[in-house]
């Protein structure tokens, strides 16, 4: 009968812990990035009962109750919800965002990030988001110092807090080369091609090329006299004029051009008309076309930050230019269930989880190893219907263990009240 007391008490204790776990799951049904836990039970030690004759086939045992063996994390992705903030993001599949607070690194699935007063990317509770900065921002003057197509993810030991200023200027870059494309045809009509170019002061100007057929023509092929001019955007100021000649073969492909460079209000611009059929052509019975491509850019101001599926932070500017400025890190573990819960949706690495690492591509380059979705958040992966069902089962189990204790008590009272 004393064994029944002990067995019932272990059931109550384990059942209470399991109810606490399920209740915490239910309480965090709306917590962003929350991971549900499931209590796992195991039997305590047992007494072996051996039947007469000691036959192994007839051996049995009586258990001494139960205990919580493990509290396992659910690794299923939670449902995703749309957001209207560019700094909200969610991981699709495995992986964890890294955050830092008070010199300690945490890992979370909650991507509801925002900017603090210092322009640091932080969580709602003030932890800093970890990743790799591009090193192309002058924070003292809030100027972009270099245009980057991508920011490679650094080694795991070099991750840093991410800071992206809310005001950022794209400096003006003067044009050095202007490429012209199109078809002049073969008629006697004058043709004009143009391109927008930027001078050393960041001012947008015009490059204008006027073509007239040379007289006389030298066969085979076609020759055009060309006058190149650089003018202010309102075309009231002329900065420079150059003349030259372009020659085409009998098929209309460009053979040569005597135009080289022209002054653009203090900066030299190379005029590139292409070669053969790549650039300017002179082909009859074909539509007359004109287009251009130039380097350089006028100044621009920050429009906003976007984050792509590789977790790169892209700055967009009012002049239509973009540059990568940072990379948000996504960490991985050999055993996600071995992570220790710190609080809410934040976890700590442990000896069971192993150390955090970055995945690598076939070239050995660090990569996020998963897709990062922007304007989305991963909600709690707690399934309310399963949690409520589990609570009902645990309540029935708790009642049954309570009944076993009261029954044992009644039996004990009965035994004590019996006459000797």
What's the pLDDT at 310? 85
Determine the Cα–Cα distance for residues 110 and 129; give it in Å rounded to an integer.
11
pLDDT at 398: 82
Closest C-alpha to 316, from 117, 168, 153, 172: 168
| Predicted local confidence at residue 246, as pLDDT | 96
Looking at residue 86, its pLDDT comes to 82
Given this model, what pLDDT does residue 393 score? 87
Backbone angles phi, psi at 362, to 5 degrees: -65, -20
Per-residue pLDDT at 196: 94
Residue 231's pLDDT is what?
95
What residues in the chain have per-residue pLDDT under 70? Answer: 1-2, 45-61, 419-420
Predicted pLDDT at 419: 64
The model carries a pTM of: 0.74
- Residue 124: the pLDDT is 92
Q: What is the mean pLDDT of the chain?
A: 89
Contact status, residue 413 vs residue 68, Cβ threshold 8 Å: no
């Amino acid at each position: 009968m004393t064994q029944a007391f002990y067995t019932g008490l272990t059931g109550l204790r384990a059942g209470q812990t399991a109810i606490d776990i399920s209740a915490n799951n239910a309480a965090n049904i709306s917590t962003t990035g929350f991971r549900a836990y499931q209590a796992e039970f195991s039997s305590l030690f047992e007494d072996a009962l051996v039947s007469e004759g000691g036959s192994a086939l007839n051996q049995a045992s009586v258990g001494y109750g139960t205990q919580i063996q493990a509290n396992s994390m659910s690794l299923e992705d939670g449902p995703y919800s749309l957001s209207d903030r560019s700094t909200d993001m969610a991981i699709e599949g495995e992986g964890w965002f890294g955050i830092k607070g008070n010199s300690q690194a945490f890992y979370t699935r909650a991507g509801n990030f925002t900017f603090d007063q210092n322009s640091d990317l932080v969580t709602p509770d003030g932890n800093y988001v970890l990743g790799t900065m591009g090193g192309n921002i002058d924070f003292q003057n809030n100027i972009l110092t270099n245009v980057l197509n991508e920011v490679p993810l650094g080694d795991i030991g070099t991750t840093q807090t991410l800071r992206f200023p809310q005001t950022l200027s794209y400096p003006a870059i003067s044009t050095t080369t202007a490429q012209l494309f199109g078809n002049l045809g073969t008629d006697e009509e004058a043709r004009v091609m143009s391109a927008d170019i930027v001078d050393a002061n960041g001012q947008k100007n015009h490059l204008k090329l006027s073509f007239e057929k040379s007289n006389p023509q030298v066969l085979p092929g076609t020759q055009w006299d060309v006058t190149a001019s650089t003018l202010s955007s309102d075309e009231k100021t002329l900065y420079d004029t150059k003349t030259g000649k372009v020659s085409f073969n009998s098929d209309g492909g460009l053979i040569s051009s005597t135009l080289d460079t022209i002054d653009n209000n203090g900066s030299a611009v190379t005029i590139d008309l292409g070669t053969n059929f790549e650039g300017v052509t002179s082909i009859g019975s074909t539509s007359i076309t004109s287009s251009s491509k130039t380097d350089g850019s006028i100044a621009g101001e920050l429009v906003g930050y976007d984050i792509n599926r590789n977790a790169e932070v892209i700055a967009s500017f009012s002049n239509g230019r973009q540059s990568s400025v940072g990379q948000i890190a996504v960490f991985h573990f050999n055993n996600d269930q071995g992570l220790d819960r710190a609080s809410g949706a934040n976890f700590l690495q442990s000896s069971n989880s192993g150390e955090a690492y970055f995945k690598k591509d076939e070239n050995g380059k660090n990569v996020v190893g998963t897709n990062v979705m922007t304007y989305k958040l991963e909600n709690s992966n707690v399934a309310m219907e399963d949690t409520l069902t589990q609570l009902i089962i645990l309540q029935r189990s708790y009642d049954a263990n309570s009944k076993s204790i009261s029954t044992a008590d009644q039996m004990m009272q009965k035994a004590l009240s019996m006459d000797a």
